[in-house]
Amino acid sequence: MENEIKAVIAKIRPILQSDGGDLEFVSFDAQTGIVRVALKGRCGGCPAAQMTLKAVIERKIMQEVPQVKGVERV
């Protein structure tokens, strides 16, 4: 499961990196279906980070890995 999540994150990272940010997988809780990620670089302090997390990162991961129920920032 983690490898599937990391593969999706690998697809998303170049988009964030092009704006000076980055995304890092932290953990996956199989019981709750929650993925935890860290936003790095410019994304770490960006006022739109929460919107990016929900509208882009969470949506894409949940589309490609149906077992994921949500994504949280650490």
Q: How confident is the model at residue 37 (pLDDT cuts 50, 70, 90)?
A: very high
Q: How far is CA 39 from CA 23, 31, 45, 52, 71, in A?
A: 5, 23, 8, 10, 12
The domain total for the chain is: 1
pLDDT reported for residue 47 = 87
DSSP string, 11-48: HHHHHHHTTTEEEEEEEEETTTTEEEEEEEEGGGG-TT
Range of the domain at 64: 2-73
Q: Rounded distance, CA 7 to CA 19, Å? A: 20
Instruction: Write the CATH number for 59.
Output: 3.30.300.130
pLDDT reported for residue 58 = 97
Q: How confident is the model at residue 44 (pLDDT cuts 50, 70, 90)?
A: confident
pLDDT reported for residue 67 = 96
pLDDT reported for residue 45 = 84
Region of poorest pLDDT, from 33-37, 49-53, 63-67:
49-53
Query: 3 near 13, Cβ under 8 Å?
Result: no
